[in-house]
Chain A
Amino acid sequence: MPIHVRFWGVRGSIPTPGPSTRRYGGNTSCVEVRTPEARFILDAGSGLRELGLRMVREAAGEPTTSHLLLSHAHWDHIQGFPFFGPAYNPATTLRVYGTEPGDDRFHRLLSGQMDSAYFPVQFSDLAGSIVADHLDGGRRQVDDAVVSVLPVCHPGGSLSYRIQLGGQSVVYSTDNELDLVIENPEDDAHPSILRRLPADLVDFVRGADLLIADGQYTDAEYPKHRNWGHSRATTVVDLAVAAQVRQVAIFHHDPMQSDAEVDAKVDACRQRAAALGAPGLSIFGAREGIELRITG
């Protein structure tokens, strides 16, 4: 049975509508992953609004349950939640996951951003059931899928998720500054030497059919943004090659990048894959409105 992955928001930091971002889109992080039994929502950036509109249309008033997995609570990953139409519907159940029992931080933060100082509707007024849940310390069966979580490198922390359905898997790893954890920085100037990344991260990603990863910066942009919590797109290629991933979506595009600049960033990734001896690795720039079908 397939996994369906749809991109609703692929931009980092702040929504960037406009003619220069029309093709890839300007909404902030939101990815929908559907298995035959479950719907996962990965981050609640501004793209969540459009997803919500579709869910309302499709549900036609029938009860729905979805699972919200947040990487972290920086604004561009939660700002879509107050505009999520299904949350206002009593037939909706949305489970918001922490990592372990008692970890309801994301549920509290979603509630907090709907304080009356920020927004006219209060969290307590939502008609849907917005329920705190958890991943049993890092790995849990949710309907027909197994969800795993791994903390990654970002100011204040961020979580990456792996969703496994039988032999098929999707990894979502945004807001993760891979370049700060490279173990052989002395080799960085050599285009054909793999940037070695921590074994736990490589193992987490290993064999994924699709890796959706933070590749916010070009090589030229990165030095000015070191320690900001985001990766060079080309370093994502090294992670994918080390972990023998099938396909990579470069994600969390910088708000300053035009469509043409994202194209160039993705081209640089393909060149790096070829230099690393992996010319067959499928790499694309994540783009709003695209849906993939993962069949393993």
Chain B
Amino acid sequence: MSRDRFIEEDSTERAGVVLEDPQPTREFRALRPPPRRERPNRLLQVEGPGAPREIPLTQLPQRIGRDSQAEIRVPSAHVSRHHLQIRREGDDIVCADLESRNGAWLNNTRVHEASLRDGDTLQIGDAVFIFYRGC
């Protein structure tokens, strides 16, 4: 590693390799797999008011709360008006407690903030969500 490169280097620069998608030749075109159906990052609400429902996380940040201004509204007395924020940080999807009364619980551990991983269970008040990483 060059010492001059070292300080400026960050993960996005290192990951910034663009691979061209070559056009298949005629003889192999028929063998090309069908385009993959992409699915966004999403929450699946499995318990609490509003469940069941799937919430795509395409527009971030979003707030979960019982307030009518919350992008993901959960009308429950156990949920604060603005309870939790979901935002993007680089490649990560992050949840952050917005000073809620009852807290945010990730896989049954109370957290202030967390990077979400595929299959994580997130509970706020009586609402339970499962996070699915997009593909």
How many residues from B make CB contacts under 8 Å with A? 23
- Which residue of A has the minimal Cβ distance to B3? A120
Complex Cα–Cα for A282 and B10 (A):
36
Q: A23-B117, A288-B115 are in contact. Are A293 and B7 (CB under 8 A)?
A: no
Q: Which residues of B from 102 to 133 have beta carbons under 8 Å from A?
A: 106-115, 117-119
B1-45 vs A: 1/0 string, CB under 8 Å? 111001100110000000000000000000000000000000000
Find the B residue at minimum CB distance from A125. B3
The answer to whether A120 touches B11 (Cβ under 8 A) is no
Please tell me if A289 contacts chain B, counting CB pairs below 8 Å.
Answer: yes
Contact A282 B109 (CB under 8 A): yes
- On whether the beta carbons of A120 and B7 are closer than 8 Å, the reply is no
Q: Which residues of B contact A88 (CB under 8 A)?
A: 6-7
**In the bound complex, how far is the Cα of B97 from the Cα of A4, in angstroms?**
13
Q: Which residues of B contact A4 (CB under 8 A)?
A: 112
- The number of A-B residue pairs with CB atoms under 8 Å apart is 44
Check B106 against A289 for contact (C-beta < 8 Å).
no
CA distance A112 to B111 in the complex (A): 38
Q: Does B6 lie within 8 Å of A120, measured CB to CB?
A: yes
- Find out whether the CB atom of A120 lies under 8 angstroms from the CB atom of B2: yes
Nearest chain B residue, comparing its CB with the CB of A291: B113
The CA-CA distance from A121 to B6 in the complex, in Å, is 9
B111→A291 contact, CB < 8 A: yes
Q: Which residues of B contact A287 (CB under 8 A)?
A: 114
In this assembly, does B92 line the interface, its C-beta being within 8 Å of a C-beta of chain A? yes
A284 at interface, CB cutoff 8 A: yes
Min CB gap A83→B, angstroms: 8
Residues of chain B with a CB closer than 8 A to A289's CB: 92, 94, 114-115
Q: Does A274 contact B (CB under 8 A)?
A: no
Distance from A182 Cβ to chain B, minimum over Cβ atoms (Å): 28
| Smallest CB separation, B27 vs chain A (Å) | 34
- C-alpha gap A284/B106 in the complex (Å): 10
Residue numbers in A under 8 Å from B106 (CB-CB)? 290
CA distance A107 to B2 in the complex (A): 25
The residue in chain B whose Cβ has the minimal distance to the Cβ of A5 is B112
Report Cα–Cα, A4/B109, bound state, in Å.
Answer: 15
Question: Which A-B residue pairs are the 5 nearest by beta carbons?
Answer: A289-B115, A293-B112, A291-B113, A284-B109, A120-B3
Instruction: Give me 12 other A-B pairs in contact (C-beta within 8 A), A4-B112, A289-B92 excluded.
Output: A22-B117, A85-B7, A88-B6, A88-B7, A284-B107, A284-B108, A284-B109, A289-B115, A290-B111, A291-B114, A292-B112, A293-B112
> What are 24 of the A-B contact pairs (CB < 8 Å)?
A4-B112, A6-B113, A22-B117, A23-B117, A23-B118, A23-B119, A85-B7, A88-B6, A88-B7, A120-B2, A120-B3, A120-B6, A121-B6, A282-B110, A284-B107, A289-B92, A289-B94, A290-B106, A290-B113, A291-B111, A291-B113, A292-B110, A292-B111, A293-B112
